[in-house]
Amino acid sequence: MSTNRQYVSTVTRGKRYPTIPDFLARVARTYGDRVALRLPVSHEGRLTLEETTYRELWELGGRLAAWLAARGVQPGDRVAILAKPSRGWAVAFVAVQRLGAVAMPLDAGLQVAEVRRLLREAEAVALFCSPDRYSELSPLPGDVPSLREVVALEEAVGALSLWDVLPEGADLPEHKPDPEDLAVLMYTSGTTGDSKGVMLCHRNITANIEAMLKVIQVGPEDRALTIVPWYHIYGLTASFLAPLWVGASVTYTDDYRNLIPIAQKVGVTILIGVPKLYHGLWRRLADNIQASPVKRVLFRVAPRLLGKLVKKRLLGEQFRFFISGGAPLHPEVAGALRRLGIGIMEGYGLTETAPVLTLSGPFDPPGTVGKPLPGVQIKIDRPDPEGLGEVLARGPNVMLGYYKNPRRTQEVFTEDGWFRTGDVGRLDREGRLFLVGRKKNMIMLESGKKVYPEEVEWELARIPEIAEVLVYEDTSRGQPMVAAMVYPNWDLLKQQGVENLAQARDFLWEKVKEAQQNLAPFKRLRDKDALTVVDQPFAKSTKQEIKRHLYVNKPVRR
């Protein structure tokens, strides 16, 4: 495939990394009868676990790869997978890798028009989808010239199912991809309205897994539970492939309401999630602590004893730690959980870095995303007097480039091969990275002072009556000012007699004035005119990040 090595960042390649099928073959041999995947199934109120062993996953993937090869799919061809994680999703991914083709995971919630555009751009030859999307996606071969097959990942009436096409005893053509060959074409979530196809080779992904597992001690006895979908690079690398690398088991669920019962049934040792999960968890724990005089005393004088009791009741004594990524974790939440003796590791990275660049320890000081992974280099570009500047990265996990977009690829690399992350941060004396926000979101005031919206959002998000907050630069009054849009927590407001947007704005402005006392004066909202209350939740990406481009510089009803 001509685009496999179209753009290669400058990186030291002193080591030859395995390919994804290399490592999958190894774990199938080593851990064949162990459970690789567990998927919760609820039937008539009874929770069961659908289990797949390493050997089953490898063999089913091989059979599907043979079918794809018989249908003319070649090494280097793009094969899309559009669904939530499932047994079929995992089998399809393994099949694509065994064939030497390129997996193209797509957000399960994409609309047909967006799916069509991406399939055309990537010249995809096959699409695996969830059964509930089959009827609307099966006509796509008529609109996408390269597309030959649309297959449902589960059985469904009227659908061609993955389980219908698996041949018995078919021979898989031998193909061994090179570590530099394209393995995954991952489209960014497009929170800025600018989705890009990120080209990740086998080396990018396996190097990142190896580096992560030098920092996180995980073994065959671990049972990882993840809520992060595998069509997101964080979910694919950190919560799907990384546990399999060491023979651990992976359980996926998007059932937040039954997360604790599922965790208990699995016997979870590691929970992998996004900040929204941990923010909600701490909010409930904090309310529970405040409601009990005994727990309030324990939290003050013996927090680790209280944490031990909480961990045992909720997750079991075998539980080890949380992992957070995909968005910033509020330092207050990280600090509170660590004070309870419950470890939480926070990772930082991007789709373009496969994804992890840095990872904190489970009990690091709150606010840091940790030190660079082994083999990864981080530096701050042109730091200001406070040490803040754009974070640059270099390492074997940095992407090959953007698909069919050499101009954008060139823009994000320095002349000497450093990747521009677009994030602003600083390094402390111990080499730990602290982030303050995205470079493109920065507000430059007339005084020359810089405000990073994320800092202000962290403070305003502490207000219980605010459910969601977006801080941005407002120039409507002739000069740059800090402004915020908020979506209220109506349940709490109505308990206090607040029923409409006007009342909510008056009430919340008083709360905002109090909360922003923790901020430097230049970072504060100047007056109530800088506060907008919206009547609908914000549109979000798959990582639950607000799609800022839909709201900033657009008129919004106050």
pLDDT, tens digit (0-9, with 9 covering 90-100), for 519-549: 989 999 999 999 999 999 998 876 667 888 8
Unique residue bearing structure tokens 């497009």: 190
The reply to whether omega before 167 is within 30° of 0 (cis) is: no
**CATH value at residue 538:** 3.30.300.30
Percent over 70 (pLDDT), the chain: 95
Q: Which pLDDT belongs to residue 190? A: 53
Q: Is the dihedral of CA 285, 262, 344, 371 positive or negative?
A: negative
Cα separations in angstroms, 399 against 202, 210, 370: 10, 16, 21
Q: Which pLDDT belongs to residue 156? A: 84
Whether 513 is in a domain gets the answer: yes
User: Each residue of 149-195: pLDDT tens digit?
Assistant: 999 999 888 889 999 999 887 778 778 899 999 999 999 865 445 67
Single pTM value for the model:
0.89
**Beta-carbon contacts of residue 529 (< 8 Å; ≥ 6 apart):** 477
pLDDT class of 513 with cuts at 50, 70, 90: very high
Q: Which pLDDT belongs to residue 120? A: 96
Whether 532 is in a domain gets the answer: yes
Closest CA to 73 of 94, 93, 96, 89: 96
pLDDT class of 452 with cuts at 50, 70, 90: confident
Whole-number average pLDDT of the chain: 91
C-alpha to C-alpha distance for 401 and 413, rounded to whole angstroms = 9
Query: Any bridge partners for residue 129, and if so which?
Result: 82, 152
CB of 155 closer than 8 Å to CB of 130: no
Q: What average pLDDT does range 134-141 have in this prediction?
A: 96
DSSP string over 256-306: GGGHHHHHHHHT-SEEEE-HHHHHHHHHHHHHHHHT-HHHHHHHHH-HHHH
Whether 6 is in a domain gets the answer: no
Q: What average pLDDT does range 418-447 have in this prediction?
A: 92
User: Each residue of 454-493: pLDDT tens digit?
Assistant: 889 888 988 999 999 999 999 888 889 999 999 999 999 9
Whether 501 is in a domain gets the answer: yes
C-alpha to C-alpha distance for 393 and 216, rounded to whole angstroms = 21
More confident residue, 1 or 374: 374
User: Each residue of 13-49: pLDDT tens digit?
Assistant: 568 899 999 999 999 999 999 999 999 988 777 889 9
User: What is the total count of domains within the chain?
Assistant: 1
Q: Which pLDDT belongs to residue 557? A: 41
DSSP string over 292-312: -HHHHHHHHH-HHHHHHHHHH
C-alpha to C-alpha distance for 309 and 403, rounded to whole angstroms = 50
Whether 492 is in a domain gets the answer: yes
DSSP string over 305-345: HHHHHHHHHHT-TT--EEEE-SSPPPHHHHHHHHHTT-EEE
Amino acid identity, residue 197?
G
Q: Which pLDDT belongs to residue 6? A: 41
Task: State which residues form the domain around 531.
Answer: 462-550
Q: What average pLDDT does range 133-140 have in this prediction?
A: 96
Whether 544 is in a domain gets the answer: yes
Closest CA to 137 of 114, 104, 163: 114
User: Each residue of 353-384: pLDDT tens digit?
Assistant: 999 999 999 999 989 999 999 999 999 999 99
CB of 199 closer than 8 Å to CB of 180: no
Whether 477 is in a domain gets the answer: yes
